Amino acid sequence: MSTNQPISSSVLSVRVPEELKGQLESLSRATKRSKAYLAAEALADYVRKNAWKAQELQTAIKEADKGVFISHEAMTVWVDSLANGKKIRAPKPDVFPKRRAS
């Protein structure tokens, strides 16, 4: 998506080990890219690769808050089936703890 609109940006200050700073400076010289550009690219790549974890964690917390779980035994049977090529269906919830009255 190409536009003639300038990209909005802001300053982020980060402390890094001296060794990492030196490596970034070397990479900057070698690639003829600014340290800021390389750092922003690395940060964007990290966020792209890891943002799904936070989303999955939030989803899992919501499911756990409902009080519906899959037992360790059921999960073990399923994982073992994947390992030995039998590939049975993923288990359905089989643990329903009783909620305490509020």
| Separation of first and last alpha carbons in the chain | 52
What residue ranges do the domains of the chain occupy? 18-51, 67-102
pLDDT band at residue 1, thresholds of 50, 70 and 90? very low
Say which DSSP state 66 is in.
T
pLDDT band at residue 73, thresholds of 50, 70 and 90? very high
pTM of the model: 0.55
Residue 20 falls in which region: left (phi positive, over 0), alpha (psi -120 to 50) or beta: alpha
What is the per-residue pLDDT for 15? 96
